[in-house]
Amino acid sequence: MPTSNASLFARLKRRSDETGEAMPKPRKKKQLESAEKRLAEAEAALAEAVARREATEVGRRSIVDELEEERAAHSLTRSALRASEARLAEARSEAAGYKYEGGVLRLKIEQLEAREKKALERAENAVELFKESEEFRDMLEEETVDGFLWGFENFRRQMHRYCPQLDLSEIRLRMGLSDGNEDEVPAIIVAEEELAEIEASMADQKTSGAPPEVAEEAHGATDEALTEIAEGAHGATDEASTEVAAEGSEPAPAEGPQVIAIDDLEGDAGAAAVP
């Protein structure tokens, strides 16, 4: 928009006042118009420069904002990296602790295995020493004697059950047998042999089918034989007790006690009596 002469004149006057110089006076109208045209061009160039500066400022601000965003993202990335490094260091410390604990546990396992091995060796040695000790021998002898006594009591009960007429309550066991006296054979062994012979004879009669009279005679003979065996055993036991008391020796357990099993004599006799 062209500037009027009045405004141009006022502007020139203001500049002259500021600089202290005298205001030039236009010589010609043509020069004034050319000056006004240059001034308008300069103002247009100034406005364009201001617009460009504002656009540049806007771009600069946008770039600064982007840079700030990048800085913030970089800071976040750095913080995440530091947190990851801290977690990695913690994991490494935990792994080292687990490794140390594993070594300690391995040492404990080895120590426990060594202790177990020593304990087993001690137990085996203790068992061997106990087997070789007198206490074990005494216990074995006691168990042997108890078994022999129990077997004799069982034999006596069986005899009382199948042969009530026999009184074996006064029979005493002879435990003081010596290896040098072979003549001193226990009466119970003799009784066992005679009972075996009687049972064999009764079995033969049963298989041969003997008549009832023969079976009754065999049963009576069996009773008489059992009575004689009991009396003989009682006498032999009393003699053995007297000899042991006279010598003053303590009774020793017999080696290899025998438990005598008595079969059902009445059942065998009844079976033999059946024609």
> CA 254 to CA 55: how far, in whole Å?
130
User: 202: pLDDT confidence band, cut at 50, 70 and 90?
Assistant: low
What average pLDDT does the structure give for the chain?
A: 71
Q: Is the pLDDT of residue 263 over 80?
A: no
Instruction: Tell me the C-alpha distance between 236 and 79, whole Å.
Output: 110
Say if CB 221 and CB 266 are below 8 A apart: no
Model pLDDT for residues 160-187, shown as the tens digit of each residue: 788 877 766 666 655 544 444 444 445 5
What pLDDT does residue 38 have?
A: 87
pLDDT at 131: 81
Q: Pick 155 or 23 by higher pLDDT.
A: 155
Indicate whether 237 pLDDT > 80: no
93 contact partners, CB below 8 Å, separation of at least 6:
none
Listed in sequence order, the residues at least 6 apart from 8 whose beta carbon sits closer than 8 Å to its beta carbon are 32, 35, 36, 39
Residue 247 predicted with pLDDT over 80: no
User: What pLDDT, on the 0 to 100 scale, is given for residue 152?
Assistant: 77
Nearest to 162 by CA among 126, 198, 214: 198
60: left (phi over 0), alpha (psi -120 to 50) or beta: alpha
Question: Nearest CA to 1 among 28, 52, 41?
Answer: 41
Output the six-digit token pair for 210.
Answer: 């003997």
The most confident of the ranges 17-26, 181-190, 224-233 is 17-26
- Provide the b/e sequence for 101-128 (b: ≥16 CB within 10 Å): eeeeeeeeeeeeeeeeeeeeeeeeeeee
In the chain, where the domains are located: 28-87, 139-273
Tell me the C-alpha distance between 236 and 186, whole Å: 8
pLDDT of residue 255: 41
Choose between 151 and 58: higher pLDDT.
58
- Token representation of residue 158: 């069986």
For the stretch 63-99, pLDDT in tens is 999 999 999 999 999 999 999 999 999 999 999 999 9
Express each pLDDT in 109-162 by its tens digit.
Answer: 999 999 999 999 988 888 888 888 888 888 888 888 778 778 877 887 887 788
